[in-house]
Structure 1
C-alpha cells in the first residue's frame, strides 16, 4: 500500500447551508472547476482503464466541503482576501444566469463589501486555509 501523500496546499469549498440540494451540488461543482482553472499544476494525470481507454484528469488532492451561513461566508471571504488565498466566488444571482459572461456580470453587480455569497472555494497554504475555515462544520 502506498504511503499517504502530504500536501503543502489545501482546497476548501464553503457552501451556504440554506440552499436546496441541487443548488449546493451546482455551487460545489462550479467552485471546484474554478480551483482547477486557477491551479492547473494541481491537476493529476489522465485516468486510464484496464483496456487502455483514457479519461479526464482531476485535481490531485482532496477538497473538503464545509457548510456556512451568510455571515460565516463573508467572514471566510474577508479572511481569505487578507491571507492572499486563491478565492473563487459564487453569488445567488448566478442561479438566474445561463452562461459565463452573465455570471461574471452578476458578480460584478454585487456590492463588493457585502456580496450575496452562496459559496466560496479557496486554495492556498494548508495552515492559512485551516485558519480561514476554522470553526466551520464539514458538509454532511
Structure 2
C-alpha cells in the first residue's frame, strides 16, 4: 500500500511534512444515510456506524497521531470515510446487497433514536426481523468495487 496524504514521510526534516502523493486504496469505507434525517441525526448515525467498523476491523485503523510538541492523540481511520445519502428504498436495497455480499457492516435503525444505551440499542435491532428493519444508516467496508455495488443508487452526501 502507498503512503497516505495524511501520513508524513519518515526522514529528517521531512518527518513533519505531509506528502502530496495521491493514494489509491483497494478498499473503501462508506456510510449511507437516509436523506430525510435531521442534521444532528446524520452526525450521530455516522459516528455510531463508523465506531463499529473501527472496533471490529483493526486493519482500518492507522497509527497514533502526535503534534510537534510531542502530545499524543488517538489513531483514526487510515483512509477516508465516504458519506452517501439515499431514499428509504435505496437504504433497503443497499442493506439487502451488503448482506448478500457478506461484507463487514454496521446498521442503524430508526428505533435507535429512542433508546439511550448500548444494551437497548442491541435489543431494538434484535426485536425486528432483518427484512423489516427500518434502516436509516449503514456503514460498509470492503473492496472498492463491492462497496460501490452495495451503494448503487446512492449519491455523495452534499
Q: d(CA) in 2 for partners of 1:101 and 1:4?
A: 42
Higher RCO by CA contacts (8 Å cutoff, separation 6 or greater): 1
Query: Which protein has the larger Cα radius of gyration, Structure 1 or Structure 2?
Result: 2
Retained in 1: the 8 A contact 2:90–2:153? Answer: no
Structure 1 runs not aligned, ≥5 long: none
Indicate if the aligned counterparts of 1:74 and 1:114 stay in contact, CA closer than 8 A.
Answer: no
Matching of residues 1-140 of structure 1 within 5 Å: 1-140=19-158
CA distance in 2, matches of 1:19, 1:110: 21
* Unaligned residue ranges in structure 2 (runs of 5+): 1-18
Alpha-carbon distance, 1:33 to partner: 0.6
1:21-41 Cα distance to aligned partner (Å, 9 max, x none): 111110011111111112112
**TM-score of the aligned structures, taking structure 2 as reference length:** 0.85
What is the CA RMSD across the aligned residues, in angstroms? Answer: 1.0
Q: Deviations over 1:106-134 (max 9, x none)?
A: 01112321201110000111110011112
